[in-house]
Amino acid sequence: MRQLEAPELRAWLTRREEPVTLLDVREPWEFALCRMEGSVHIPLGQLPARHPELDPARTTVVICHHGMRSLQAGAFLERQGFSDVVNLRGGIDGWARGVDTDMAVY
């Protein structure tokens, strides 16, 4: 699984022509505080039951607070046959501090 830090991910997303799924695996209260535009919210604990809602052929960028839960979620998705998974290393916190400084941090 590839891992990209927030500035790398931003540049990579800007260059991509194909759509990606931004999968946020944080808890509902965290997602309510801040989120990346267009992200799909499936908390980590619900992912085993809800992963069929996602397209395994599409690139999936997994997001959490600091990058550890998303790393677990990405490994799970790869075991389910997802072929292109990217972990946001540093999580939404890194995104808020390094890319979108207007985003709330917690």
- 4, 9, 63, 64: the active-site residue: 64
Could you tell me which residues come within 8 angstroms of residue 91 by beta carbon, excluding any fewer than 6 positions away? 63, 64, 65, 66, 67, 68, 70
**Nearest one of 37, 41, 31 to 65, comparing CA atoms:** 31
**Nearest one of 94, 103, 104, 105 to 6, comparing CA atoms:** 94
Assess contact for 4 and 89: CB atoms under 8 A. Answer: yes
Helix (H, G, I), strand (E, B) or coil at 95: helix
Known catalytic membership, residue 64: yes
Positions annotated as catalytic residues are 64
